[in-house]
Chains A and B, each alone.
Chain A
């Protein structure tokens, strides 16, 4: 009888574990950023053509010298959810542009500047958008895939990272948090 109980226990453990796996589904990359609460690395990237006049040739992110909180969104032209959320980012910029900066970074999109500009024009994006040709900034920021959106406090520290598509409600809520801190 004792042996039978051992068999049942092992089967229950494995069954439970794999059942958990089935319920969870395919492993995804929704992984908490390791930099939560810490300063994010600085960078300087070339600004996309349509916005040169407004923002200058490059955009510099210096965590030590931010005058507003900043929301950094990584996107690529081949990424379908990025297309879906482009209007949301534009909404956030229109709504909260005075209090926060919204920055788009085109990444993991090898040398596709032209497609990037077309993407911006398609959605009428007016917030600063830069290109990370080598994907180096995305690696520095611990990016797994696109889209990912980082919410940075005024002191340059990471408040929250969102994996996948963002919504207007989520933007409202997170920006309110950013402004409170």
Chain B
């Protein structure tokens, strides 16, 4: 009897029920949508909610198993350890493949349920839900039949090895993967609506406008995930970098590129009723790339520093990817005649013109990054040779493209839809070019003399001027109409034109990131040095004095490290403790650098040799990265901008009421 009531059977059972509900919701939704049967559709929506609850039970059971160290559950036995801190146990849920897929399925089920409850009742909704259920069935099916975390171990071990050392070494593990999945899942919603639009032969505006918030939410999460991942790498990889064009990084960047193109080009369709087909292609491509990315990272067919826990799901994800390609792009191909729109353009020098050009650049860059990522595989398939495509290639390709995109980012928002007025345009361009030149000149006088950093700084100036002109253009006319102060008018504008102002914040954040990247990659100083204890070593205006080595043992973790005092101009600044952690029985060490965060530059110390008793020195890697913190700050700004654009306008309700009053009064 006891064998029947284990956490394994409970969690596994919940997943089976969830899968059954998802299949039911899929089928009843399909029939309900095809026959326009409202009762079946309602039933499908309820089943979607029930499926979410069932997966939630599965998640809760897994968390209970992790927290109570129930090693009869295989996943717990393989990934958890008794003396891990509680937070590590909680996040061990997504420390390996099986749990990650389960988490993904749960988030997807949650979004589907939310959609089933909140989405407006349109022709598209039932079909969109069917598509969502289809994707959910795939994830639940994979969890149950290929990567089941609830497999029961008849002879449970007494303890497990714990999660991968690099993962449990930093609290970012609790944040970054979830953000990434929220982004991926969020971008599934517009895809589902796009498919619904194609199935119902209504490829007009509706699918886009109904998913505008979902798209932006997904994009925001993806952006946050990428930046957070960069910071995580910075904090744990030990070489003072944050982005190495590693395949796993690249495949998270690909959907970001296409999604970014998408959130811009939907505006063209909203305003000008063109690019219908293009937008469908973009959103489909974005979704397909999220699946491709998961396939590449989880199948282990490309080598990556971040390849954690690959399993038997490679072929399954490949099959799903091909299915998604054939179904979605096939559907677009079949419906192309209805999708094709009668596009017209008054003038290429217009908002839509600039967005079109930027779209092409985003897509070309995505193509180059994808090609570079899978190129070693292509060469090996053709000639059998093993080759490498690394950071220098991606840098050379992406930096110029990004510079042009940044130019467009400055000019695009200033251009009106349809046609720009030549005089205004020239005046704006003069301001922007002037500011850009001024920026570059000042930087040059300060000693920045390389081409790309100078160009980036110039483009930053160009964009700052653009933002200033945008705000000026929005505020100045209003100022003339009222007696209120500039601050009040600005506030009103920022709250009322949320989308517009939010986009300005995001663009500003992107510029901040660009400056941070320029400083951190163009002007970083990297040195490997031997520090004799208590002998100051001069480095970039700092005096670093290694005081001692230390070894610390707490249950489940052994740390060796060095204590380094940092002084500047003879005054004590801080004490840094670069160290290496090892966890449990795991053989893998996790470097744990220590960083002095400063707005102008970071001082980054990483242990590069052993710390042994009786050894009177320590070898450290010392990195000074100028402006690197601004990458994270810029990312935060971009996320704030996204949230700003997503929040509802506070005045809207009131306005309606006043309008109604006005009407009432007029009737009096």
Residues of A at under 8 Å CB distance from B? 3-4, 6-8, 10-11, 14-15, 17-22, 24-27, 29, 31
> Contact at B330–A7, with CB atoms within 8 Å?
yes
Q: For residue A30, which residue of chain B has the nearest CB?
A: B386
Contacts of B374 in A (CB 8 A): 17
> Contact at A7–B325, with CB atoms within 8 Å?
yes
CA distance A24 to B299 in the complex (A): 11
**Number of chain B residues close to chain A: CB under 8 A:** 26
Contacts of B300 in A (CB 8 A): 25-26
A22 to chain B, nearest CB (A): 5
Among the listed stretches B175-183, B314-322, B490-498, B551-559, which one makes contact with chain A, having 4 or more residues with CB under 8 Å of it?
B314-322
CA distance A165 to B295 in the complex (A): 31
Against A, the Cβ 8 Å flags (1 = close, 0 = not) of B285-306 are: 0000000000100011111000
CA distance A96 to B204 in the complex (A): 79
On whether A17 and B381 interact (CB within 8 A), knowing A6-B333, A7-B329, the answer reads: yes
Can you list 23 A-B contacts with CB-CB less than 8 angstroms, sorted by A residue number? A3-B332, A3-B336, A8-B330, A10-B329, A11-B325, A11-B326, A11-B329, A14-B322, A14-B325, A17-B378, A18-B299, A18-B301, A18-B318, A19-B318, A21-B301, A22-B315, A22-B318, A24-B301, A25-B300, A26-B301, A27-B303, A27-B376, A27-B380
Contacts of B314 in A (CB 8 A): 22
Contact of A21 among B299, B330, B333 (CB under 8 A): B299
Q: For residue A110, which residue of chain B has the nearest CB?
A: B610
Contact of B237 with A by CB under 8 A: no
Contacts of A27 in B (CB 8 A): 301-303, 376, 380, 386
Q: Knowing that A20-B380, A31-B386 are A-B contacts, what are 9 other residue pairs whose CB atoms are under 8 Å apart, sorted by A's residue number?
A: A7-B326, A7-B333, A14-B322, A17-B374, A19-B318, A22-B318, A25-B300, A25-B301, A27-B302
Q: For residue B315, which residue of chain A has the nearest CB?
A: A22
On whether A18 and B295 interact (CB within 8 A), knowing A26-B300, A26-B301, A27-B301, the answer reads: yes
> Contact at B377–A20, with CB atoms within 8 Å?
yes
Q: For residue B314, which residue of chain A has the nearest CB?
A: A22
CA distance A15 to B318 in the complex (A): 7
> Contact at A21–B322, with CB atoms within 8 Å?
no
Contact of B334 with A by CB under 8 A: yes
CA distance A27 to B379 in the complex (A): 13
CA distance A91 to B172 in the complex (A): 52
Most chain A beta carbons < 10 A, residue from B301, B318, B333, B377: B301
CA distance A153 to B299 in the complex (A): 41
CA distance A27 to B373 in the complex (A): 13
A57 to chain B, nearest CB (A): 28
CA distance A31 to B314 in the complex (A): 24
Inter-chain contact total with CB atoms closer than 8 Å: 65
Contact of A26 among B303, B325, B380, B381 (CB under 8 A): B303
A14 to chain B, nearest CB (A): 7
> Contact at B334–A21, with CB atoms within 8 Å?
no
Contact of A24 among B329, B332, B336, B380 (CB under 8 A): B380
Contacts of A10 in B (CB 8 A): 325, 329
Q: For residue B610, which residue of chain A has the nearest CB?
A: A110
CA distance A7 to B284 in the complex (A): 13
CA distance A6 to B376 in the complex (A): 24
B50 to chain A, nearest CB (A): 34
CA distance A17 to B375 in the complex (A): 10
Contacts of A29 in B (CB 8 A): 386
Contacts of A18 in B (CB 8 A): 295, 299, 301, 318, 321, 377
CA distance A26 to B334 in the complex (A): 37
Q: For residue A3, which residue of chain B has the nearest CB?
A: B333
> Contact at B330–A4, with CB atoms within 8 Å?
yes
Give the 10 A-B residue pairs with the shortest CB-CB distance, closest first: A21-B301, A3-B333, A7-B329, A11-B325, A4-B333, A20-B381, A15-B322, A27-B303, A26-B300, A31-B386
Contact of A22 among B299, B333, B376 (CB under 8 A): B299
B residues 260-306 near A (Cβ < 8 Å) are 295, 299-303
CA distance A129 to B330 in the complex (A): 63
Q: For residue B333, which residue of chain A has the nearest CB?
A: A3
Against A, the Cβ 8 Å flags (1 = close, 0 = not) of B628-654 are: 000000000000000000000000000
Contacts of A21 in B (CB 8 A): 299, 301-302, 377, 381
Q: For residue A11, which residue of chain B has the nearest CB?
A: B325
Against A, the Cβ 8 Å flags (1 = close, 0 = not) of B326-348 are: 10011011101000000000000
CA distance A17 to B336 in the complex (A): 28
> Contact at B334–A4, with CB atoms within 8 Å?
yes
Q: For residue A2, which residue of chain B has the nearest CB?
A: B333
Contacts of A31 in B (CB 8 A): 386
CA distance A22 to B318 in the complex (A): 9
Q: For residue A6, which residue of chain B has the nearest CB?
A: B333
CA distance A7 to B333 in the complex (A): 8
Contacts of B302 in A (CB 8 A): 21, 27
Contacts of A8 in B (CB 8 A): 326, 330
Q: For residue A21, which residue of chain B has the nearest CB?
A: B301
CA distance A179 to B301 in the complex (A): 39
CA distance A22 to B380 in the complex (A): 13
Contacts of B329 in A (CB 8 A): 7, 10-11
CA distance A11 to B325 in the complex (A): 6
Contacts of B301 in A (CB 8 A): 18, 21-22, 24-27
CA distance A6 to B336 in the complex (A): 13
Contacts of B315 in A (CB 8 A): 22
CA distance A26 to B296 in the complex (A): 11
CA distance A20 to B315 in the complex (A): 11
Contacts of A17 in B (CB 8 A): 374, 377-378, 381
A19 to chain B, nearest CB (A): 7
CA distance A4 to B334 in the complex (A): 7
Contact of A11 among B299, B322, B336 (CB under 8 A): B322
Contacts of B376 in A (CB 8 A): 27
CA distance A6 to B377 in the complex (A): 22
A61 to chain B, nearest CB (A): 27
B220 to chain A, nearest CB (A): 29
Contacts of B322 in A (CB 8 A): 11, 14-15
Q: For residue A144, which residue of chain B has the nearest CB?
A: B386
A40 to chain B, nearest CB (A): 21
Q: For residue B300, which residue of chain A has the nearest CB?
A: A26
CA distance A26 to B300 in the complex (A): 6
Q: For residue B299, which residue of chain A has the nearest CB?
A: A22
Contacts of B381 in A (CB 8 A): 17, 20-21
CA distance A62 to B301 in the complex (A): 40
CA distance A20 to B379 in the complex (A): 11
B506 to chain A, nearest CB (A): 32
Q: For residue A27, which residue of chain B has the nearest CB?
A: B303
CA distance A15 to B378 in the complex (A): 12
